[in-house]
Amino acid sequence: MTENDPHAHDSAAGRQNPGAQPGTEGQAAWSQPTAPGASPAPAPASGEQPTYGEQAQQQNPGYATANPWSAQGAQTGPMGYNNPYPPTGGTTQQQYAAPGTYSVPPAPAPKKSGPGKLLAGVAAIALVIGGVAGGTVGYLTGGSSGPSVNALDQPKPAQQTGNAPSGSIESVAQKLSPSVVELQVSGRTAAGEGSGFVLSTDGYILTNNHVVEVAANGGQIQAVFQDGKKAAASVVGRDPTTDIAVVKVNNVSGLTPVELGRSDDLRVGQPVVAIGSPFELSGTVTSGIVSSLHRPVQAGGDETDQTTVMDAIQTDAAINPGNSGGPLANMNGQVIGINSAIYSPNSGQGGQGGASQGGNVGIGFAIPIDQARRTANDIIKTGHATQTFIGAKVADAPQGGAQLGDITPGSPAEKAGLKAGDIVTKIDDRTIDSADTLIAAVRTRAPDEKATFTLSDGRTVQVTLGGQPVPAN
Q: Which residues are catalytic?
A: 210, 243, 324
Residue 461: beta bridge partners? 453
- d(Cα 157, Cα 150) in Å, to the nearest integer? 15
DSSP conformational letter for 38: P
Q: What angle do CA 77, 83, 87 make, to 5 degrees?
A: 80
- d(Cα 75, Cα 86) in Å, to the nearest integer? 5
- d(Cα 103, Cα 25) in Å, to the nearest integer? 22
- d(Cα 395, Cα 401) in Å, to the nearest integer? 9
Q: Which residues of 248-282 are buried (b: 16+ CB within 10 A; e: fewer)?
A: bbeebeebeebebbebeebeeeebbbbbbbbbbeb
For residue 112, CA distances in Å to 121, 128, 363 come to 12, 22, 36
End-to-end Cα, the chain, rounded Å: 18
Q: What angle do CA 42, 18, 394 make, to 5 degrees?
A: 90
- d(Cα 209, Cα 54) in Å, to the nearest integer? 12
> Which amino acid, one-letter code, is at 385?
A
Return phi, psi of residue 156, to 5°.
Answer: -65, 145
Return phi, psi of residue 172, to 5°.
Answer: -65, -45
- d(Cα 26, Cα 403) in Å, to the nearest integer? 9
- d(Cα 357, Cα 55) in Å, to the nearest integer? 12
Secondary structure (DSSP) of 267-283: -TT-EEEEEE-GGG-TT
- d(Cα 341, Cα 242) in Å, to the nearest integer? 12
Strand 271-276 versus strand 327-329 pairing type: antiparallel
Q: Are 464 and 418 in contact (CB under 8 A)?
A: no
Q: Is 142 helix (H, G, I), strand (E, B) or coil?
A: helix
Q: Which of 218, 327, 344, 277 is nearest to 85 (CA)?
A: 277
